[in-house]
Amino acid sequence: KSYEYPQHYNCIQRYLTDVRSAVGDLPKETQCLNISHNFIHRLPGGSFQHLPQLRILRLDCNRLQEIKDAAFDNLGELLTLNISNNELEKLSRGAFIGLGNLTLLLIQKNRLSQVDPDTFHLLRSLEVLHLTSNTLQNFSQVITSVYPLSRLQTLNLCGNNLSSLNTSTNLPASLSQLLLCNTSMALRGLPLDYFIHVRWLDLSENHIGAGELASFNLADLTYLLMNNNPGFQIFDFLNRSNVHLDHIDYSGMGLHNSNLSSLCKYLGNTSLSKLSLMNNHITNLTDKTFLHCPAIKAFDLSRNRLKSLHCLDFVHGNDLQSLVAQHNLLDHLEGCSLSHQCFTNLKNLTLSYNRILTVGHNAFAFAPNLTQLSLEFNNIAYLSKGALKGLSKLEILRLDNNLLTDLYKESFASLTNLQHLLLRNNRVSVIFPNTFMNLHKLQILDLGGNIICSFTKESLRGLQNLSNLYLDLNEIKAPILHSQVFSYVEKTLQVLDLKANNIAYISSKQEISPFENLQKLKSLKIHSQQPYGIKII
C-alpha cells in the first residue's frame, strides 16, 4: 500500500503464482494496482470483479499464458491495462469483456502470432494500442480486428513479422499514428491512398524502396521516419514524393558528410522547425556544410561521430533554438571567442553521452541566453572556472555522472537565474564556503553519489530558495550535522536526503536535533547509514 496515495497498491516481486493471492483482500476503493514481476500464469474469469473503481492495472512481467473470458469483468472505470512482457500466444474474443472505458492497452513482448477479428471489438474507447515485439504475421488480420475502434489514435506494430501489408480493410479513420518499424515488410498490395488519414508514420528498419513509398499519397503526413531502410535513396524519394520536405525525419539515411550540402539544396526555402540528422555517420561539420540550408530552429545530430562542435561555426543565421548532439565522440569543449557569432535564440543545448573530458573558458559564449544545458554522462574532469561565464539566463544545468572533483564559487557565479543544479555521481569531496553564493533562485541541488565528507554552514550560503537538497550516498559524518548547518535553508527546505552516509546520532551528546529548525521539511531520509545504521539513544 502507498501511504502517499492510499488507494494505490503494489505487489511487485512477491513470487506470486495466483492472482487471487494478490487481490483477494483489497478494498473495493482500490484505484491503482501493480502486480508486475511475479509468476502469475493465468487470469480466471472475474479475477478483479470486486475492484470496480480500478483505473490502472499492471500485470506486466509475469508469465501469463491464458486470459479467460471476462477476466476483467466489472472494471468499467479501468483506463490503463498493461499485460506486456508475458507469454500470451492468443487472445479470445471475450478476453476484454468489461473494459468499455479502456484508453491504453499495452500487449508488447508476448508471443501473439494471430489476433481474432473480434478480440478488440468491445474496447470502444481505446485510443492507444501497443502490439510491439510479438510474432504477428498477418497485417490484414490485425487491421480487421481494430477497424471498429472509432477512437483509436495510435497503433504500434513494430518488431513483428509483417512481411506483407496486403489488405482490403482500411485503417480506422481516427488513426493518426501508425508505427510499422522493424517488421520486414513491403508495401505491395496497398491502395495508394491507404495512409490518407495517418499523420505520424514510422516505417524505419525495413526494406522499403524509395520508388515504392513515393507512389503513395503522403501529402497530409506531419512526420515520416524511414531510419535504416537499406538502399533507400532519399534524393530519389524527394524528387518523386508529395510529402512535405519539412515533415521528414532525415535520421538513418546514410547521408554522411558529403550529402548534407545536397540535402540543403533540396530543402531550398522550406521553413524547417527541426532538422533531425541522427545516425548518419557524420564526422565533421564546416561553415559550408549547411550554407544553403533554410533557417532551422532545431538541430538533432545525435548518434553520429562528431569530435568537435567548433563553437557552432556550422550554423548560419540566428534562428537556432535547440541543438542536441548526444552519443557522439566529443572529447572537449573549446573556449569560444566573445567576438564569435552569438545565437541569441538558442535556449537548449544537450551534449550528454559523449566523451567530454575538459570544458574551456567561455565554452558557451556563442549562446548567452541558454536556459537548459545538459552535459551529463560524460568524462568531465576539468571545468574551467569561466566555462559557464555569462549564462545568466540558465535555469537547468546537468553535470551529473562525470568526474568532477572540485567546485568553485567562480564556476557558478554567473548563474543567477539557475533553478536546478544536478551534480550527482561525480567525485566531489568538499563543498567549499560560498560555492553557491550567487544561486539565489536555486530550488533543487543534487549532490548525491559523491564522496563528500566535509561541508559547513557556509557551503549553503546564498541558497535562499532551496526546496530540495540531495546528499545521499556520500561520506558525511555526524559531527558535521549540528543545528546550525542548515540555517541558510531552514525556511525553505522541503526535501532532505541524507541516506547512506556515515551518520551516527547519539542523543546524550547532541541535545538538539540538526533538523529541528527545518520549518517546512516534508521528507527526510536518513536510513542505511554506514557501517551499522543510525543510532538514536
CB atoms closer than 10 angstroms to residue 295: 14
Beta-carbon contacts of residue 440 (< 8 Å; ≥ 6 apart): 416, 462, 463, 464, 465
Quote the CA–CA distance of 55 and 125 in Å, as a whole number: 14
Quote the percentage of the chain above a pLDDT of 90: 81
Please check whether residues 447 and 483 belong to one and the same domain.
yes
Quote the CA–CA distance of 123 and 129 in Å, as a whole number: 10
Residue 242 lies in a domain: no
The whole-number pLDDT of residue 190 equals 87
Residue 278 lies in a domain: yes
Which of 191, 212, 236 terminates a domain? The answer is: 236
Q: Is 361 helix (H, G, I), strand (E, B) or coil?
A: coil
Instruction: Let me know: does 283 contact 259? Beta carbons within 8 Å.
Output: no
Instruction: Let me know: does 431 contact 452? Beta carbons within 8 Å.
Output: yes
CB burial of 91-102 (b: ≥16 within 10 Å; e: otherwise) equals beebbbbbbeeb
Please check whether residues 427 and 512 belong to one and the same domain.
yes
Residue 509 above 80 pLDDT? no
The H-or-E segment that residue 323 falls in is: strand 322-324
Among candidates 66, 64, 99, which has minimal Cα distance to 84?
Answer: 64
Beta-carbon contacts of residue 438 (< 8 Å; ≥ 6 apart): 409, 412, 413, 414, 415, 416, 462
With cut-offs at 50, 70 and 90, classify the pLDDT of residue 507: low
pTM of the model: 0.89
The whole-number pLDDT of residue 480 equals 63
Residue 295 lies in a domain: yes
With cut-offs at 50, 70 and 90, classify the pLDDT of residue 184: confident
The whole-number pLDDT of residue 217 equals 96
CB atoms closer than 10 angstroms to residue 432: 15
Quote the CA–CA distance of 291 and 261 in Å, as a whole number: 7
Domain hosting 36: range is 8-52+60-77+85-96
Please check whether residues 431 and 392 belong to one and the same domain.
no
Span 31-49, average pLDDT: 95
The whole-number pLDDT of residue 422 equals 98
Residue 102 above 60 pLDDT? yes
Please check whether residues 258 and 287 belong to one and the same domain.
yes
Q: Which three cell numbers stand for residue 187?
A: 508495401
The whole-number pLDDT of residue 462 equals 96
Q: Which three cell numbers stand for residue 204?
A: 524505419
The DSSP symbol for 210 reads H
Residue 2 above 60 pLDDT? no
Residue 185 CA: distances (Å) to CA of 89, 157, 159, 164, 217: 22, 11, 11, 5, 19
The DSSP symbol for 477 reads B
Please check whether residues 428 and 313 belong to one and the same domain.
no
The whole-number pLDDT of residue 348 equals 98
Quote the CA–CA distance of 116 and 5 in Å, as a whole number: 38
Please check whether residues 511 and 461 belong to one and the same domain.
yes
Residue 245 lies in a domain: no
The whole-number pLDDT of residue 477 equals 84
Task: Domain count for the chain, please give it.
Answer: 4
Residue 25 above 60 pLDDT? yes
Please check whether residues 505 and 528 belong to one and the same domain.
yes
pLDDT digits (tens, 9 = 90+) for 382-440: 999 999 999 999 999 999 999 999 999 999 999 999 999 999 999 999 999 999 999 99
Please check whether residues 391 and 254 belong to one and the same domain.
yes
Please check whether residues 410 and 389 belong to one and the same domain.
no
Q: What would you report as the CA-atom Rg of the chain, rounded to the nearest whole angstrom?
A: 28
Residue 16 lies in a domain: yes
Residue 537 above 70 pLDDT? no
pLDDT digits (tens, 9 = 90+) for 277-311: 999 999 999 999 999 999 999 999 999 999 999 99
Span 211-220, average pLDDT: 95
Pair type for strands 420-422 and 444-446: parallel
Span 9-27, average pLDDT: 91
Please check whether residues 432 and 499 belong to one and the same domain.
yes
Which of 236, 259, 279 terminates a domain? The answer is: 236
C-alpha torsion sign, points 196, 197, 198, 199:
positive
The whole-number pLDDT of residue 3 equals 53
Note the Cα 531 to chain centre separation in Å.
36
Please check whether residues 35 and 146 belong to one and the same domain.
no
> For position 165, which CATH number holds?
3.80.10.10
Residue 241 lies in a domain: no
Residue 230 lies in a domain: yes
Mean model confidence pLDDT for the chain: 93
Which of 208, 236, 264 terminates a domain? The answer is: 236
Residue 362 lies in a domain: yes
Please check whether residues 223 and 281 belong to one and the same domain.
no
Residue 508 above 90 pLDDT? no
Span 238-248, average pLDDT: 95
pLDDT digits (tens, 9 = 90+) for 442-496: 999 999 999 999 888 999 999 999 999 999 999 998 766 676 889 999 999 999 9
